[in-house]
Structure 1
Amino acid sequence: MPKYPKGILGVRKDPKNQILFSFSARQGDEWPSDDDDDSDYRPGNGSDSDYEGTSTSKQSQKRKIKHTKTKRSTKKKVKQDNDKCTDKRTRPNNTRDHDHPAFHGEVPSLPTEIWEKIFKIIVQKDGALPFLERASKVCKLWKDISVQPHLWEKVDMSFGWMNLNETALRSICASRLGLCKELNVSGCKFMNHPWGVQAITDNCHNLRAINLSNCKKLPTGSVDNIVSSCKLLQDIDLSSTTVDAVSQQTSCNIAEKCGANLRKIVISENFAKNLSKFLTKLMEHCPNLEHLDMSNVKWQSGLLYDIELFQRKCPKLKRFFSSNNAGRVQATQQDSPGFPNLEELSLATIESNRIVTSDFVQRFVKNATKLRLIDLRGCISDTVGVVTTLKDIEASNVEQLYLARSQVASCSVLDDILCKWRHSLTHLDLSWNNFVRDTLDVALNQMCDYDGDLKIIQLNLAGTNVHMDILKKVLRKMTKLEQLDLSSCRDLDRG
C-alpha cells in the first residue's frame, strides 16, 4: 500500500496552509517532534521551524553547549585524578599522605625479617594453611618466605587446601614439614595409601600432635609406624578410624612407646575388642595423661573400672569422656588422691547405664575442686539418685551443667544444686524432665534471687513444666542469655 503523507492527528499536510500545533511542554523539557522525518515537510516563512528557532532552538543549543562543557570538565577531572595517582606512586617514601593509596600490584618494600614476623603472627593464629599456600603465589619474596619450615609448625590439611598426589606430598613433607609439631590429616584421601603414611613417618619426626580421625581406610600398621617414627607425640586422635588403629596390640604399643610424653588420646566412635586392657596400659605407662576420650566405643569384653588405681596412676587427668559406655566398677579402695586437676567429666548415656551410679560419681570426683563441666544426661538407673550427689561435690565454680533426661526430675535438692553454682553457671540443660509439681519453678526462682549478675548464656528448658511467671523472672534476671529452648513446654501460654 502507498504511504500517504500525513501530519499530526492524521491530517494531510498542505505546504501552503501550515498547521501550528503545540503540547505546551514544561519549562526545561523539550518535546520531541518527528517533522524532520516526514518526507513532505518543507519549512517556510512563518512556519513552525521559524517560530521554534527563536525560543526552543536556542534552549536546545544552550543544552548542547552545557553538555559539551560537562564532558570537557569530566575529562579534565579524570585526567587530574590520574595525574594525582601518578604523583602518589612517584612520591618519595618520606612524604605523608592522609589518603590510603590504591594497591597497584607491588608488595611494599619491607625488610625480609619484618615479613617473616608478620607471617609468623598469622600462622600462629590461623595455621599454615591456607595462608602460606596463597601467599606463595603473590610474589617471589613471599614465595621464598612461605616455604621456610619454621612457619609450618601447625598444619591442617583436613579441608583439602592442597590437592596432593604422591609426588607432591613427598615434596611438601620433605621441604616444609621437617619442623612440624601439629598435623591434622583428618579424612585426607592420601592417608588411604601406604605412601601417604610413609611420607609422614620419613619426614615429620618432630610431631607433638597428630589427628587421624575419620581416616577409615588407614593401611594396616599405620598407627604403629607413626608412633614408632614420631617419638615426641603427646596428642593422638584416632576417633572414627579402623579397627586395626584401636586394636589391643596397637593401643598397647601407643601407651608403651609414647609413655610419659602422652597427654591426650581420643579413641571415640570405634570398635575395640578389649578396652580394659588399653586402660590398664595407660595407667602403667602414661602418668602425665590429661585428656582421655572413650565416648561411644563398642567392645566385645566388658570394661572394668578401678577408679582408685586410675587416680593414683594418672593424677594429672583434666578431661574424662566416657559417654555411652557400660562396665563394672571394682570395690572401693581407701587410699586415693582423687583427681585434683579434673575439669571436665562426661558420663552421658542414651540408654540405661548401670555403671553411672551415685557411688561411681562420688568416687570419681573426689578432690575435684577445679571441675567446670558435668554431663550426666540420661543417667536414670540409680534409685538413690546420681544428681543428688552433686550437692556434695567440692567444686565451687562449675560452669556447664547438663542434666537432660536424668533423675533431676525426682531430685529434692535441685534448688540447692542451682544455688550452689548460680554465680558461675554459663550453660544449664534441664530439658525433657517431668518435674514433680513446682520443683523446677522453685529452683529457678531461688536461682534468680541471687544478688549478683547471672552469667547464663545458654538455657535449655525444652519439654519441662516451667510456668510463665517464673520464665518472665528468668528473662529479666539473665541479661547475658543468648540461647533459650522452650520447645514442647506445655504449661506456657500459647501465642
Structure 2
Amino acid sequence: MDDPKHHRANRGIFGVRQSKKRPMMFSFTPVRGDEWPTSSDDSDQDFDINNCSKANYSDDGSDSTKHLKKGKQQKRKKSKKSKKERKTQSRKLKIKRRKVQSSSGDDGEPETTRHDDTSDKTSWSHLPTLILQKIFYYGVADGGAVPFLLRMSKVSRTWRDVATRPKLWKKVNLDSSTVKVKESKRFTGLTWLINNRFSKLENLNICNWSKLNQSTFENIVKECPSLKRLVLSGCIKLGSSSLEQITNGLSNLEALDISSITLPGKTLNPSGLSRFLEVRGGALQELNLSNNKISSWPGVFSPILKHENSMPHLRHLDLSNCLTFSSSLTVFPVESFQSACPNLEVLSLAGCDVVGSKVEQDLKESSCGFPRLEQLSFPVSSQVQRSSSLQQDLVQRILKTSVNLQLLDIRGRTSFTPEFAQNLPCTGVEYLYIGNCDETIIPLCTKWGHSLKTLHMPDISMKGDVTIASVLPSMTKLENLDLAGTDIDDSVVRLVFDSCPSLDEINLTRCRNIQRGIKQTFKGQRLKELAEKMTLTS
C-alpha cells in the first residue's frame, strides 16, 4: 500500500496534484500554475469526512484535469464572440439607459440639470440649421466672417454646411493688422475666398494690403457686385484705373475709403475721382480721402458742387491732410458744399490749411448751412500760423445752422475773439478740444459747461486761477479733463474734484505749480485715491 503521507505531499496543500514543470502551488491564472477545480459551493455544505476515499483524490488527478479543460473551453467560446454582438449589446445598454433617464424625469427633477456627455453631443449635432444659422449670424455681426466662420466650418459637416452659406458672408475684415497671414499665402487665400465665398459680400475691408495688384482688384469688382462698403486704405499699388473699375462695376456702393493710397510725389487721379463723384455720388453715405495729395480741390469736386443736393445721402466726409502742391491756402467752398451735402453729420478737415471762399454777403446769409452736423474736426499743427480772422470766419460759416453739434476740435488754431462763442448756434457741445485760444476758452466753457463730458485744453496760459475756477462749478457732467502744461495750482485741482463728481480721468502732466508726485495722468481707482489725498491735505 502506498503511504498516505506520500500522496498528500504530491497533492499539495489544496489536494491538487503538483506538477514538476509548474511548481507554483496555486494561482488564479491557469497559464502560470495548476488551477483549483471549478465547482459549485453547494457541495461544501454537505461535506462529510467519513465519505472521503481514495477514489475522490486519485493520484492521477483525472478529476482536476477534467475541470481545467472545461474552464478553458468555456473561455475560448467566450472569446469567439463576434464584434457585432458586442456592438449590439452596447447599443441595447445605451437604449436602456436613455429609457431610464426619460422615465426618471417624472420625479420632479428637471432634465436640464442632468449632465450627460452623450446627450450634450446629440443635442448639438441635431440642432436645427435655422437656429445654428441665427447663432452664426450674431457671431459675424461685429468681427465679420473671418476667422469665425472658417473655424466653425471645422467642427462638423452640419456646421460646415451652415458656415458656407453666402448669407453669412456679408461682412469680411481682412485688415493686415488683424489677420496674421504669410505674404506668400495671402493672395492665394484671398483669391479662393473671392471665388467661393464672396458672391453676396456687402462689406469688405482690405486695409494696408500694400501689395494688392490690379488683377486681384479686378477679380474683387467682378465677383462682388453687391458691395456696399469698401475700404482700400493703404493699398498703394492700385493704379488710376481702380477708380474707373469702381465706378463701372460697383453700382450699390455706399461707403468708400481710399485714404493713404498715393505714393510720394504723386496725386489722386482728378478725372477718375471727379467722374466717380458725378456717377456714384448720389448714393454715397461715407467718403474718406484723407492723407492723399490732390492736384486741386475745385477740379475734383466741381461736378458735385454745380448742382444742389447732388449728394443728399452723404453723412461722413473726411478730407484730413488732403494737401496740394501749391504753397498757398486751399480755398474751401463752404456754401457750395452746404448746398450739395445738406445732410452731412461728420466733417473732418484736420491738418488742412484752408480758408473759406470769397462769396457775397447775400449768399452767406441765404445758405442752408449744415443743420445735421454733429462733429467738426478742424485742428492744425502749431507750425501753421494763419490769420485768426479767416479761420474764425470759416468755422462760423460751417457751423451756421449746426444746432446739434456735439464735438468741436480746433486745436492749434490761433486765438479767436470772445465773440466767437456768442455767434455759434450750438448749445449742447459734449466734446471740446481747444488750444492756443486763451481768450476764447472761458466763454466757450461758460456756454457749454453744463453739457461738457470731455475737455482738452493743454498748454493754455491762463491769467489767473479765478477764471477757470469760476467755470468749474457748472461742469457736473465732466468725465475727462486735460490740463497738461497749464499754470494751475493745488487749489484748482481740489476744486475740480469738488465740482466734477463724474470725473474719471485727469491729465496733470507738465503742470509746474502743483506739488510733486501728482504731475501725471490719473484714471479710475488711482483718481479716487488722489481725490482722497487732496481732500485730506486741504
TM-score (normalizing by structure 2): 0.68
Q: 1:115 to 1:298 in 2, by over 3 A?
A: same
What is residue 15 of structure 1 aligned with on the other side?
none
The correspondence for 1:112, drawn from 112, 120, 129, is 129
Of 368, 378, 386, the residue aligned with 2:402 is: 368
Equivalent positions of 1:21-420 (< 5 A) are: 91=101, 96-98=111-113, 107-158=124-175, 159-160=178-179, 164=185, 166-188=187-209, 192-242=212-262, 246-284=268-306, 285-301=310-326, 302-332=329-359, 333=363, 334-350=365-381, 351-354=383-386, 357-380=391-414, 385=416, 388-404=419-435, 406-407=436-437, 409-411=438-440, 414-420=441-447
Task: Provide the rounded CA distance (Å) in 1 between the counterparts of 2:269 and 2:101.
Answer: 69
8 Å Cα contact 1:325-1:353 kept in structure 2: no
Partner SS state of residue 360, structure 1: helix
C-alpha change, 1:146 and 1:434, in structure 2 (3 Å) is same
Tell me whether 95-104 or 210-219 shows the greater mean CA deviation: 95-104
C-alpha contact (below 8 Å) 2:449/2:471 kept by paired residues: no
State the Cα distance separating 1:491 from its structure 2 match: 1.2
Unaligned runs of 5+ in 1: 1-82
Report how many aligned residue pairs link the two structures: 399
Report matched runs for 1:446-465 at 5 Å: 446-449=471-474, 454-465=476-487
C-alpha separation in 1, matches of 2:373 and 2:394: 15
- Are residues 482 and 227 of structure 1, via their aligned partners in 2, closer, same or farther at CA, if it must alter by over 3 Å? farther
In 1, Cα distance between the equivalents of 2:487 and 2:99? 70
* C-alpha RMSD of the superposition: 2.9
Match of 1:68 in 2: none
SS of the equivalent of 2:237 reads coil
Percent identity of paired positions between Structure 1 and Structure 2: 27
Partner Cα distance (2:222, 2:403) in 1:
44
How has the CA–CA distance of structure 1 residues 88 and 344 changed in structure 2, closer, same or farther, with 3 Å as cutoff? farther
> What SS class does the counterpart of residue 230 from structure 2 fall into?
strand
Distance 1:216 1:444 in 2: 51
Give the distance between the partners of 1:235 and 1:121, measured in 2 at CA: 23
Shift of 1:220: 4.2
User: Which residue of structure 2 lines up, in the alignment, with residue 12 of structure 1?
Assistant: none
Task: Confirm or deny: 8 A CA contact 1:233 1:261 kept in the other structure.
Answer: yes
Contact 2:356 2:393 survives alignment (8 Å): no
Shift of 1:387: 6.5
Local SS of the residue matching 1:227 = helix
Distance 2:224 2:102 in 1: 47
Cα 1:211–1:386 shift into 2, 3 Å: farther
Q: Is the 8 A contact 1:130 1:161 kept in 2?
A: no
Partner in structure 1 of residue 17 of structure 2: none
| 1:421, distance to aligned residue in structure 2 (A) | 1.7
Alignment of 1:2-21 (within 5 A): none
CA contact (8 A) 1:456 1:481 kept: yes
Q: Partners in 2 of 1:434 and 1:257 — Cα distance?
A: 50
**Letter of the 2:422 counterpart:** K
Instruction: Give the 3 Å change call, closer, same or farther, for CA 275–100 of structure 1 in structure 2.
Output: farther
**TM-superposed deviation, 1:89:** 12
Q: What is the rounded CA distance, in whole Å, between the counterparts of 1:121 and 1:90 in structure 2?
A: 37
Q: Which amino acid aligns with 1:430?
A: M
C-alpha deviation, 1:166, in angstroms: 4.8
**In structure 1, how many angstroms separate the alpha carbons of the residues matched to 2:113 and 2:498?**
48
Which whole-Å deviations, capped at 9, do the CAs of 1:311-352 have from their partners, x for residues lacking one? 122111111111121234222423201110111101100033
- Structure-2 change in CA distance of 1:219 and 1:279 (3 Å): closer
Moved more, 144-153 or 106-115: 106-115
Query: C-alpha separation between the residues in 1 aligned to 2:281 and 2:443?
Result: 43
Distance 1:169 1:357 in 2: 46
Paired residue type of 2:464:
R
Q: Compare 281-290 and 425-434 and name the one that shifted more.
A: 281-290
Q: CA offsets per residue over residues 201-245 of structure 1, 9 Å max, x none?
A: 111111111000111222442232123211111111111112578
Q: Which amino acid aligns with 2:471?
A: Q
CA contact (8 A) 2:433 2:455 kept: yes
Mean Cα deviation higher: 223-232 or 133-142: 223-232
Which structure would you say has the larger Rg? Answer: 2
- In structure 1, what residue type is equivalent to 2:200? L
Give the distance between the partners of 1:89 and 1:316, measured in 2 at CA: 66
Q: Offset of 1:178 from its aligned partner?
A: 1.6
Per-residue Cα deviation, 1:417-447 (whole angstroms, up to 9, x for no partner)? 2132222211100101111233xx4334333
AA of the residue aligned to 2:511: C
Distance verdict in 2 for CA 1:151–1:437, change over 3 Å = same
265-274 or 279-288: bigger deviation: 279-288
**Deviation for aligned residue 1:90:** 9.4
**Runs of 4 or more off by more than 4 Å in structure 1?**
86-95, 99-106, 161-167
Deviations 1:117-144 (A, max 9, x none): 1111222233212211111111111111
C-alpha separation between the residues in 1 aligned to 2:160 and 2:509? Answer: 54
The TM-score, its normalising length taken from structure 1, stands at 0.74
Q: 1:89 to 1:387 in 2, by over 3 A?
A: farther
Q: CA deviation at 1:374?
A: 0.3
2:300 and 2:98 map into 1 onto residues whose CA distance is 68
| 8 Å Cα contact 1:326/1:353 also seen in 2 | no
